[in-house]
Amino acid sequence: MHIFSQSFKYDHSWSHVVIGMWHKYPNPHCTHVVNVDVLDRTIDPITGIIRTERVLGCKQKAPSWIVKLFGGSEDAFVREISFIDPATQTATITSVNLSLSQFATCYERIQYRPMSSTQTAFTQTAEIQARMAMWRSMTDKFEDWLVQRFEQNAISGKAGFSDVLRTMWEAKEKQTAPS
Amino acid sequence: MAHSLSPECTPLKHEYDACFNTWFEGYLEPAITNANTKGHSQGQRIEYSKLKKEEYDRKCGSIWEKYKDCVQKAVTEKGLGELLSQARQENPLREPPPPDAPGSS
């Protein structure tokens, strides 16, 4: 099992980041995400919390030994559940792979919270574990590849979302910034 | 805008997303302000949430039903139905996780 975690800040207000969340894909840094659908969405009239369940479809190149092992498909689906709580300004996003879950799990949790009126803290943790009943060396190799891919996707995710937020909000933020 | 799982659902997805995004942008700032303004009682906040939920149902309810039905069919056609119900059983995630403790490393 590998545990991955990182945190950094976006130079945008919490509400801009949370509005931007729904515009993250498509972006040129994250071409592996090919489709996104909302499966369920509820608004709690008492707490004001919005819960959204989505399915994301990803297509990524994998080494041929992995593709063969898993029946030749490069399509991978992820289930994502998010909670947006305006009262506490907390957004929490949990994602777990749907595809190949019998072979490995990647359980990821992300949280966005304001740091200041113009900055938002991002924290991310992921538990990646290969669950295969086969030779130990192969399980380790597969897990290493999953971790490497997750790290690459985390880098491109940050770059991609930063660009999306910049495009969406830069003009507006310049207008309202104190002179 | 991103594509849907099934090309057939993509126009419905775009219409629904546009409706939700417009509503959401109008919802968020006042909801934050309500929670952080001393003069606003919890009753007022609940009133606001109820009104805004009704507005969402009114404006986006119809396109949501069409889009949701299309996606549910696509999920079944792609063979994801069983995986999804298993995943929902294992991790229902019906409530937000507890906030991270302050000062935790």
Contact A107, A125 (CB under 8 A): no
User: Token pair 């498509």 is at which residue?
Assistant: A26
Please state, in angstroms and rounded to a whole number, the distance separating the CA atoms of residues B13 and B2: 9
From the list A37, A89, A94, the residue facing B71 with the nearest CB is A37
Please state, in angstroms and rounded to a whole number, the distance separating the CA atoms of residues A98 and B35: 36
Range of the domain at B70: 7-88
From the list A37, A39, A111, the residue facing B100 with the nearest CB is A111
Provide ipTM, 2 decimals: 0.92
pTM of the model: 0.88
Domains of chain A: 2-172 (3.30.530.20)
Say whether pLDDT at A98 is over 80.
yes
Residue B16 within any structural domain of the chain: yes
**Number of structural domains found in chain B:** 1
Residue B35 within any structural domain of the chain: yes
pLDDT in tens, A49-93: 999 999 999 987 778 877 777 776 778 899 999 999 999 999 999
- On whether any CB of chain A is under 8 Å from the CB of B32, the answer is yes
Portion 42-71 of B in contact with A at CB < 8 A: 45-46, 48-50, 52-53, 56, 64, 67-68, 71
Please state, in angstroms and rounded to a whole number, the distance separating the CA atoms of residues B81 and B79: 6
Q: How far is B24 from chain A (nearest CA, A)?
A: 7
Residue B31 within any structural domain of the chain: yes
